[in-house]
Structure 1
Amino acid sequence: MSTDTPKLSPVEKIKTASHYLKGTIGEEVADPVDHFNKDNLQLLKFHGSYQQDDRDSRGAAKKEGGGKSYSMMLRLRIPGGRITSDQFLSMLDACEELGNSTMKITTRQTIQLHGILKDNLQPTIKRINDLALSTLAACGDVNRNIMCCPAKRTGNVHSQIEALTDELTTAMAPQTSAYHELWLTDPETGEKTLEGGGTAPVVHGRVSGDEVEPLYGSTYLPRKFKMGIGFPDDNCVDLYTQDIGLLAIVRDDNVIGYNVLVGGGMGTTPSAAKTFPALAKRMAFATPEQVVGVCQCVLQVQRDNGNRADRKVARLKYLIADWGVEKFRSEVEKYYGEKLADCTPDDVHEVDDHMGWQPQGDGKWSYGLNIENGRLYDNDDQQLKAGLRAVCREFKTEIRMTGHQSVIFTDIEEADKAKLISLIKQSHMPTTEETSTVRRWSMSCVALPTCGLAITESERRLPSIIDGLEAPLAKLGLAKERFTIRMTGCPNGCARPYNADIALVGKAKDKYTVFTGGGWLGNRLAVVYKDLVPDDIVIDELIAIFAAFKVNREGTESLGDFCSRVGPEDLAVLAAAAPKP
C-alpha cells in the first residue's frame, strides 16, 4: 500500500473505524428506532442495503408533526443474472411479506426489494441467504454484481464466460466475517447460516498485507467498482461503461482470452467540472489462465492509487484520466508480475437484447419478456407478479435477468411455446412481440419517490413519454427503428444514459438535460443537445429530433450516428425545420 497519507474523505474514516464493515450495525439493528445513523448507513451499503424514505409523503408527515417514512432498499448479488424459478418465486414472496409489494429488476441483472422496514432487514437478508443467494457486495466501495451475457446457449462459449463470472465473483469478493455475524448468526444459539454467494481468499499479484481482507485491505476501495463480460457480436452488458469490461475473444467456438477494457463509468456532477462520464479504454489481452489475476491487479492498482480524499473523483476512470492507459497498464503489469499482450483487433459491433423467442441450440427455446423499467407489480390493468409466478410454477426453469431490466425464460420445449405465451397473456402482460421497439429499448432508473438523489421523475415518467412517441414514430415510418432512450432522475447515471442514442437526465425540478449522439452499440458518448428542457415539452423536443432524422439521415445510418454526425447545433436547426408528424 502507498505510504502517502493524504487527507481522507469522511467515508474513508468511517471505513477505517468500522472493524471490517461491522461498525455498530448490530447494536442499531437491536435498537427500536426506525432508522440507522449516518456512519452505519455508509457501511450498510457493503451489506447490500440503502436507507430511503418516501419523498411523496414528506410534506403530509411534516404538516402532521411527524418525521420521514424510513425504509430500506435491499439489493441482491446475482452473478450474470442467473436465478432458479424457486429462488425467483421466493423473492416475489419476500417483496410482499417484508417489503412494499413491488420488486425491481435492475440495470445490472439483479433484484432490488424496496420498502423493507428496519426491523425486517435481518430476517430478509437471512431468507435470501437461505436460498443460496446473497446481498454482500451488491453495493458499497467494492466490486459489485458482475454482469454477463444472459443468453443460454449450448457449446463452449457461453459456458466459459458463465464459469468465469462465478469465479470472479468469488475472487473479487470481500472476505470480512461481519456479514455472517450481523445477518446470518442466530443470536440465541450462535449458529451461522452459510453466506449464499460463498467466498474464498483467492488473490493474485500484490496483496494488501491484511489477513482479514488480503485483496481489499481494511478501507476497501476508494469508490464503487463494476465489471461485465460480453462478446464483440453481443454487447448486451454495455462493456464500455464498466470499470472492467471483459470482451471475450472467440475462435472456433472457444474463448481464447479477453480484451480487458478499463475505466468506464457513468456518474457525473454538473456543478463540478472535474467530473465526467467516461467509456472504458482498451488496455491489454488476457488469456483464460491470466484473466482472474489481471482483474484482481486492476482492482489493486485502483485500491492503492485511487483518490480517497474526494469521492467525486474517486472512480477508476479518474485515475486513468490522470495517468493515461499506458501508465495504468504498466502498473497493472508490475502488480501481476509479467507483461501482457496487446488487445486483439476485435471490438463490439452488435447488440442483442435477447427478447422474444431464441433457439438455445439444444432443441429448446428461451423467451425474453420485456419488463418496462424492471418494475414487477400487480394492479387492475396487468399482473406482472402473478404472470411470472404462473410461468415459474409451470416450467420450473432457470430465469435470467438482462442488463435492460427484463427476464429470459429458458429451456422451453417447442411444444410448450404456446402455453408460455398463454400464461403471459392471461396476466394481461404485453408480450415482447406486442411491445413497441422504442419501449423495448428504453430504460430508466428508480428516481422518485425513494431515491434520495433524484431531482426529477424517471421510472414513473418514462412510460408516458414513450406513450407520446409511439404514434409519431409510426407516422414517420420509424416504428421499427432501433435506438436507445434512457432516463435518469439525476446526473449519477444509474440507467447508463451517457452512451445512449438519446438520454433525458434530471437537472432541476421538472427539467431535463437532453443528450444525443451516443448509440445502441454503447461505444460512443452522447453530448448535450439542450439543457434544462421543461418536462412538458420533452416529448415535442424528441419528436422534432426524429423528424429531422427521417428527413436528413444518410443511407441506413442509425439515430445515434446521425446525431453524432450533424452535431447538436445543426441538429437543433434541422429539428426546427423538419415537418412534424
Structure 2
Amino acid sequence: MTTITDTVDRSTDISQPLDRLGPDETLKYNSDYLRGTIEHGLLDRITGSVSYEDNKLMKFHGIYQQDDRDIRDERRRQKLEPAYTFMVRVRLPGGICSPEQWLKIDALARAHGGNTIRLTTRQTFQFHWVLKEDIKPTIQGLHEVLLDTIAACGDDARGVMCTSDPSDSAVHAEVAALAAATSHHVIPRARGYHEIWYGKERVATSEEEEPFYGRTYLPRKFKIGFVIPPSNDIDVYTQDLGFIAIAGPDGLEGFNVSIGGGMGRTDNEPRTYPRLADVIGFIPKDRLIEATDAVMAVQRDYGNRAERARARFKYTVDDKGVEWVKAEIERRMGAPFAPARPFAFTSNGDRFGWRRTETGRFDYTLFIQNGRVSNLPGRPMMDGLRALAGVHRGAFRLTPNQNLIIADIAAEDRPAIEAILAEHGLAEADRQSALRLNSIACVALPTCALAMAESERYLPDLMTRIEEILAANGLLDEPITIRMTGCPNGCARPYVAEIAFTGRAPGKYNLYVGGGFHGERLNRLYRENIGEAAILETLGEMLGRYAAERAAGEHFGDFVMRAGYFDAA
C-alpha cells in the first residue's frame, strides 16, 4: 500500500495509509509538489476555469478560482459557463509596502484587477476579477518589485502579521524585521511556483523538495502573527501561533508564545468552533525560528488529516491537551519555555489621522471602509493613493483592520501629503462614527464561493441604520467593534467582536454579542438567522440599556456580559 512517509527527522513514525486520509491529503501527495497540471490548464482557452484539482493546488500559489455570482443564474439560463475569474493574494509580511510596490500594485489592479484593490484583514493585497490569461502577467508584475503570492493561501503557513501602528518605533522596526524573516523561513521550498509563473526551468525532482513540509504539507492553513502591546490590532488570540513582544529598558527581549487560536466554524456542527489561543510561556528573541519550527512540526505530525473540518491546530491542541502540546514543542526545541512575562492590551483598533513618532517623523492613518480601494464619485481614492505613492519617501503599512498607514513622513514632506489627501477627499476619519472606524467586513458576494449572504456591500448601509440608534442614545463617539462575514468561516475575525454578524442566507445573519474590546474574550450567539428589522430591534434595546446603565469606562461587550443577556444559557 502507498504510504505518506516523513521527509524530515522525526521521533515517531506517523506514516499513514493514503486510503485512511482525506481526499485533500491524497491530492497533495500526488501533486508533484503542488505542480499538478496547472501549467497546462492555463493554456486551455476553451474555458475560463481550471480543473477541480488544479483549483485546489493553486491556493498554495495564492490564487482562488471564483465566479461572478450576481450573474451566475443568468449565465446558467443562457447555457453559458459561470463568469470565472480569479482572486490573487499577495504575500506581504507585516503589511509593509514600499511606494514603488504600491505603484506596481495599482498598475496591476488597473490592468487586470477590475480597477480596484482590496486590503485584507491579514495585512495584504487581493486582486479580484483577474482572468485566467492574466494571472501569469499579474504574478510576474509582482516579481518585478520583489513581491510574490507564495503560501498566501493553502495548507501551509499563511502570510505573517505584525502590529502596524506601534507606540515604540524602534521595537516595531525590530519586530517587523523578525516577522518578515519568519515569513521567508516558513514558505514552501519547492520550485514549482517559479517554473509555472516565472518560466524557470525544472532542474531536478527530489524527495527533499520540501524538507520541512514533505509531500502533504500541513493538514490545514496555519496563521502566525506578531503583536506589540498595548495594541492587539492583529487579534493575537485568533492566531494558530502568536508572538507577543516583550520589551525591556534596552529594547526587545523576546516573546510570550500563544498557540491554538482560530476563528472558523461550521453552522450546525458543534465539533467545530472558534477558539482563543493559550499563552504557554516566554522565549528570548534568538529562539524565534526554532520555536516556530517546533510548533509547526507538532501540527504537521499530529494534526487531523482524516477529517478536514477538524484539521486546524486549535483542534490538535484541544484533542491532545495544551500541556501535552507544550511539552512536545519544548522537546522539539530542546529547551523549556520560561514563564510568560506580564503584558497588557488596551485595544485592537487603529489610531486615525496624524501622529508624531518617537523618531520625530509622522504617520497618517487613513480610513478605508472594508479595505476597498477604488475611485468613487467625489472620493477618487485609488488615484489619490497613486499620487501619494509618487511623492512619498517612507512606507505604507496595511493594518489588520483594513486601513492604511502612510508611514515615516518627514516633517518637510507633510504639507505635500496633506494637499494630496485634501485634493482627493481622503481625510475622512474625523467625519466617521467610532462604530464605523472599528468595523471590518469580508468580501463575500459576489465573488466568494463560500458566502451565503452579503458582507462588504451590506455592512456600510446597516451601520448607517445602527448609527441612528447610537445618535439617539448619545453613543456616536463610543468605540464599539463590529464585524460581518458572509459565512461562518470567520475571515473578518467576527467571533472576538463586540457585535458580529455571520451570514446564513440572503438577508439573514446570526447575531453575536459580548466579545472583548481588545480581543480577549469570544462573543456568544444571541439571535439566530434574523433579518435587518430584527437586528435593529435587538441592537436598539441593547444599546439603549448600555447608554442608560453602563459603568464609567465600560465597553459595550463587557456590559452585555454583565447585564444578564446570557444568564439563562
Normalised by the size of structure 1, how large is the TM-score?
Answer: 0.92
**1:178 corresponds to which of 177, 192, 214:** 192
Contact in 1 for aligned 2:166/2:231 (Cα 8 Å): no
Aligned match for 1:138, one of 152, 157, 161? 152
Distance 1:60 1:545 in 2: 42
* Separation in structure 1 between the aligned mates of residue 349 and residue 14 of structure 2, nearest angstrom: 47
2:509 corresponds to which residue?
512
Could you tell me how far apart the structure 1 residues matched to 2:313 and 2:153 are?
Answer: 16
Match of 1:46 among 60, 85, 94: 60
Q: CA deviation at 1:327?
A: 0.5
Pairing of 1:537-576 with structure 2 (within 5 A)? 537-569=534-566
2: CA distance, partners of 1:99 / 1:345 = 45
Q: Which runs of 5+ in 1 are unaligned?
A: 193-208, 573-581
Question: 2:16: which partner in 1?
Answer: 5
Structure 1 residues 472-487: aligned runs within 5 Å: 472-487=469-484
Of residues 471, 493, 498 in structure 2, which corresponds to 1:496?
A: 493
The 8 Å contact of residues 61 and 153 in structure 2, kept in 1 or not, is answered as yes
Distance, in Å, in 2 between the alignment partners of 1:552 and 1:431 is 32
Match of 1:234 among 212, 231, 234: 231
Find the aligned partners of 2:539 and 2:421 in 1 and give their Cα distance: 32
Q: CA deviation at 1:514?
A: 0.5
CA distance 1:3–1:154, change in 2 (3 Å): closer
Q: Does structure 1 residue 303 correspond to structure 2 residue 314?
A: no
The one-letter code sitting in structure 2 at the alignment partner of 1:402 is: T
Give CA deviations for 1:55-114 in whole Å, capped at 9, x if unaligned.
Answer: 001122122221200000000000000001121111111111112111100000000000
Amino acid across the alignment from 2:25: E
Q: CA deviation at 1:490?
A: 0.3
Q: Deviations over 1:158-213 (max 9, x none)?
A: 12201211210122111010010000116xxx599xxxxxxxxxxxxxxxx95211
- The CA deviation string for residues 119-175 of structure 1, in whole angstroms up to 9 with x for no partner, is 111111111111100100100000011000123777531122012112101221110
What whole-Å deviation, never above 9, does each CA across 1:199-256 have from its counterpart, x for those lacking one? xxxxxxxxxx952111111100000000111123111111000001100111115111
How many aligned residue pairs are there? Answer: 553
CA contact (8 A) 1:421 1:431 kept: no
State the 1:563 CA deviation: 1.0
Give the letter aligned to residue 465 of structure 1: L
The Cα offsets for residues 523-562 of structure 1, whole Å up to 9 and x where unpaired, read as: 1000011111113442333232211211221232110111
Q: Deviations over 1:451-481 (max 9, x none)?
A: 0000000000001011112233123121111
Note if contact 1:473-1:546 (Cα within 8 Å) is conserved in structure 2. Answer: yes
SS in 2 for 1:61: helix
Q: Residue 358 of structure 2 aligns to a residue in which SS?
A: coil
Query: Partner residue of 2:313?
Result: 316
- Assess, with a 3 A threshold, how the Cα gap between structure 1 residues 336 and 106 changes in structure 2: closer, same or farther: same
Distance 2:533 2:410 in 1: 47
3-state secondary structure, aligned to 1:34: coil
TM-score (norm 2): 0.94
Structure 2: unaligned runs, 5 residues or longer:
1-5, 7-12
SS of equivalent to 1:229: strand
1:68-79 to 2 correspondences below 5 Å: 68-79=82-93
Higher deviation after alignment, 373-382 or 127-136: 373-382
The 2-side partners of 1:327 and 1:152 are apart by 34
SS in structure 1 at match of 2:263: coil
Partner in structure 2 of residue 36 of structure 1 = 50
2:100 aligns with 86
Q: Which stretch has the larger CA shift, 280-289 or 369-378?
A: 280-289
Contact 2:172 2:228 in 1 (8 A): no
Q: Tell me the SS of whatever aligns to 1:290.
A: helix
Q: 1:465 corresponds to which residue?
A: 462
User: CA–CA distance in 2 between the matches of 1:308 and 1:246?
Assistant: 26
CA RMSD of aligned residues (A): 1.9
- The one-letter amino acid paired with 1:103 is I
**Identical amino acids, percent of aligned pairs:** 39
Q: 270, 291, 296: which is aligned to 2:288?
A: 291
Describe the shift of the 1:318–1:61 C-alpha distance in structure 2 as closer, same or farther (beyond 3 A).
same
User: How far apart in 2 are the matches of 1:357 and 1:428?
Assistant: 16
What SS class does the counterpart of residue 147 from structure 2 fall into?
A: coil
> For residue 398 of structure 1, what is the aligned residue in structure 2?
395
- Deviations 1:3-46 (Å, cap 9, x if unpaired)? 35261111111100011111111111122131111111111000
